[in-house]
Amino acid sequence: MIRMSITNISRTATIDDTPLISRTLARAFDDDPMMRWFFPHDASREAGLRRYFTTIFTRQYVRHGVCEHTEAAAAFWVPPEAQAKAVPDAATIQELQNILGDRAPLFRNTVETAAKYAPQESHWSLSVVGADPAVQGQGHGSALLRSGLAKADAAGLPAYLESSKPSNLPFYEHFGFTVREELRLPGDGPALWTMWREPRRPVDA
């Protein structure tokens, strides 16, 4: 009998997974309108994205969030009790500014704009999710969404995310998210959609 490996199973991410996660997310976000706005040069975008995702993963989310991955996708969630801690510290901000170079002011304005629309009520936040385009349609992103949402549902809490890629909105809507606001980022930036999902009763409840 041929034994097939299952690669779209969600696993907890650790610091040792940094190379896989940064590579995966760099590929996943290569065509994202906001990331192309932050990293406009084709020749250097992948390297810049790898550094960006390495920094936020190792300095923020792996320390204070719930990070999971498959063989070709990754997701960073932040539960309500960790949201104050998951804010980048001064050293992380400086590193991100070094990575973004002259695009750093756009990044800062984007973060400040999005923060104005962040929900105040207790919730789980999906900060990042992405799958390598080479495995699109194979269930990697869906596995990570289900895993995180199951945790939010078990806690009886809603979930929140922001998306800058309009083609992803139906994917999130499939999992119960609805659009709250459509924003236009400052400095002639792309659109950003905030999305919300009310908790569901766990199946085994």
Residue 203: what pLDDT?
61
Class level of CATH domain 11-197: alpha beta
Q: How far apart are CA 194 and CA 190, in angstroms?
A: 13
Residue 202: what pLDDT?
67
The answer to whether residue 131 scores a pLDDT higher than 70 is yes
Helix pair 90-100, 104-115: axis angle to 10 deg: 130
Q: How far apart are CA 106 and CA 111, in angstroms?
A: 9
Using one digit for the tens of pLDDT, what is the confidence trace for 83-114?
988 888 899 999 999 999 999 999 999 999 99
Is pLDDT larger for residue 201 or for residue 106?
Answer: 106
Using one digit for the tens of pLDDT, what is the confidence trace for 165-177?
999 999 999 999 9
Q: What six digits make up the tokens of 198?
A: 């009310």
Q: How far apart are CA 77 and CA 147, in angstroms?
A: 10
Please state whether the predicted TM-score (pTM) of the whole model is above 0.85: yes
Report, as an integer, the average pLDDT of 139-164.
96
Report, as an integer, the average pLDDT of 6-10.
76
The answer to whether residue 198 scores a pLDDT higher than 90 is yes
Q: What six digits make up the tokens of 62?
A: 């792996």
The answer to whether residue 82 scores a pLDDT higher than 50 is yes
- Domains of the chain: which residue ranges? 11-197
Residue 178: what pLDDT?
98
Using one digit for the tens of pLDDT, what is the confidence trace for 66-81?
999 999 999 999 999 9
What are the φ/ψ torsions at residue 98 (nearest 5 degrees)? -65, -40
The answer to whether residue 46 scores a pLDDT higher than 60 is yes
Q: How far apart are CA 80 and CA 109, in angstroms?
A: 24
| 3 state SS of 130 | strand
Q: How far apart are CA 187 and CA 189, in angstroms?
A: 5
Report, as an integer, the average pLDDT of 40-54.
97
Residue 186: what pLDDT?
86
Distances in Å between the alpha carbon of 86 and those of 62, 99, 124? 9, 19, 12
